Structure 1
């Protein structure tokens, strides 16, 4: 008997020379750190667990990454270095209370200027 195997979806975020790229099922979105306009953290209810997520916005593109993405911890560590105004415990803040979206603006270039 042959089993119908589904191809595993690619979910990866990786650093590049001056930024990073998000690879979601072979759709790659590249960002430079300098072009980031807004970062919004939130979580998604997955019934038995929550998934910490990040919405990444620049002038002409938007992408999403989650804590399940390969490279998440390396990326978030670098993100905190690039944007030191982000609370280092942002994931913990978003995590409580459980099963609520708790959308939180982490960085907004228009608000974080001067």
Structure 2
């Protein structure tokens, strides 16, 4: 008997020399810290739990990462160091109330300049 075993999807965010890369199911998007234009935090309702997410925008690149991605905590620590204007408690802030998207702009280069 053959079992249809589904391959686990790759969900990983990792630091690089000058930035980071998002690997979503072998589609890799690379970013340098200096090119980040906008960061948006939000939640996705997963029926019984919420998933904290981050939308990353830079030029013509957009990528998403969630708290379930391998490397999320290490990435978050570095992100908050690189962008000190982001509230260090942003994940907790958007977590309440439960099951509500609560999209929040964390960083916008155009708004944060002069």
Instruction: Provide TM-score, normalisation by structure 1.
Output: 0.99
**How many angstroms does 1:113 deviate by?**
1.0
Matches within 5 A, 1:24-39: 24-39=24-39
| Secondary structure of 2:78's aligned partner | helix
Please tell me whether residue 87 in structure 1 is matched to residue 87 in structure 2: yes
Structure 1 runs (4+) greater than 3 angstroms displaced: none
| Residues 34-79 of structure 1 deviation map (CA, whole Å, 9 limit, x = unaligned) | 0000000000000000000000000110000000000000001100
Structure 1 CA distance for aligned equivalents of residues 60 and 44 of structure 2: 25
Matches within 5 A, 1:1-114: 1-114=1-114
**How many angstroms does 1:2 deviate by?**
2.1
Structure 1 CA distance for aligned equivalents of residues 48 and 68 of structure 2: 15
| Residues 67-99 of structure 1 deviation map (CA, whole Å, 9 limit, x = unaligned) | 000000000110000000000000000100000
Instruction: Provide TM-score, normalisation by structure 2.
Output: 0.99
| Secondary structure of 2:6's aligned partner | coil
Structure 1 CA distance for aligned equivalents of residues 50 and 3 of structure 2: 30
Aligned residues: 114
Structure 1: give runs of 5+ residues left out of the alignment. none
